[in-house]
Amino acid sequence: MTEKIYCQGSPAVAPFTPWLCQAWLCQVSTIEVSIGFFLAGNLNNFARNAGVRIMISGSPDFILPGLGVDPAPEFQELETPEGELHLRFYVPSGNEFALPATGIREVLSPSPDRMTPIPNVSSLLLGTLNMRGRVIWVADLGQFLGDQTPLNTDRPEIPIVAVEDQDTILGLAVDRIVGMDWLDVEQLHSQNNAPDGMIPFLRGEWMLGAPATKVLRLLDQVKILRSARWAA
């Protein structure tokens, strides 16, 4: 049986369960959701367990503001990919990193004047930002990981990846966001040439390209959030 359940709403994990249960109980094989709803909650992992195919519609602007609209048709079928959904981005040094989508609360692109500098705090912290009514700290991720080059804040917008663990949210300011990608964590290698100050916050790295010369490092957002460096 093939039906469609149209799911539009805010990107929270909790509402996914009733729709997937309904689809499973009624032997429905297809659910259609907005792409922002899908990306923000990593719905595909839930759907796989329920044996339900996901159809996505719309553009990814909800989760990745400023990246533009995909000119693909309004309704697209998402083939089952290998791996898990990750966000890829660069820091000022030119190093590329990834974070798992399940640990990302939101991706923002505020203007610098929306951030409030706070005196007498760690030099890694750029200030605070009001994110949908909640004030969060924003940090220079590159410098936190040991980059000597500070983030350029003299620009119209600053890409910020808001990560969370339990009730803690931190905004990680980066240089440039690449986009979402499906990456297989089973293919991770140990970090061979990473700086010592970066290693505690890495889960591993992928070697990409042909030949495999491009390094993409996977960060552990929980270790970043809980690091003692913020108090230094």
Alpha helices in 117-192 (DSSP H): 141-144
The reply to whether 143 and 222 lie within a common domain is: yes
The reply to whether 60 and 101 lie within a common domain is: no
Respond yes or no on whether the N-terminal peptide bond of residue 211 is cis (omega within 30° of 0): yes
In sign, the C-alpha dihedral spanning 143, 226, 135, 37 is positive
Q: Name the 3-class secondary structure at 186.
A: helix
Range of the domain at 68: 6-77
Cα distance between residue 145 and residue 202, in whole Å: 10
In a domain, 1, yes or no: no
Q: How far is CA 137 from the centre of its chain?
A: 17
The reply to whether 14 and 94 lie within a common domain is: no
- For residue range 70-82, what is the model confidence (pLDDT) as tens digits? 445 544 555 557 7
In a domain, 52, yes or no: yes
Is residue 155 very low, low, confident or very high in pLDDT (cuts 50, 70, 90)? very high
The percent of residues in the chain predicted with pLDDT above 70, rounded, is: 64
Whether 140 shows a pLDDT value over 50: the answer reads: yes
Domain boundary among 77, 109, 140: 77
Domain boundary among 51, 77, 103: 77
**Mean pLDDT taken over the chain:** 75
The reply to whether 53 and 103 lie within a common domain is: no
In sign, the C-alpha dihedral spanning 53, 55, 59, 65 is negative
Alpha helices in the chain (DSSP H): 16-25, 35-41, 43-50, 141-144, 221-225
Of residues 101 and 21, which shows the higher confidence score?
101
The pTM score is 0.68
The reply to whether 37 and 70 lie within a common domain is: yes
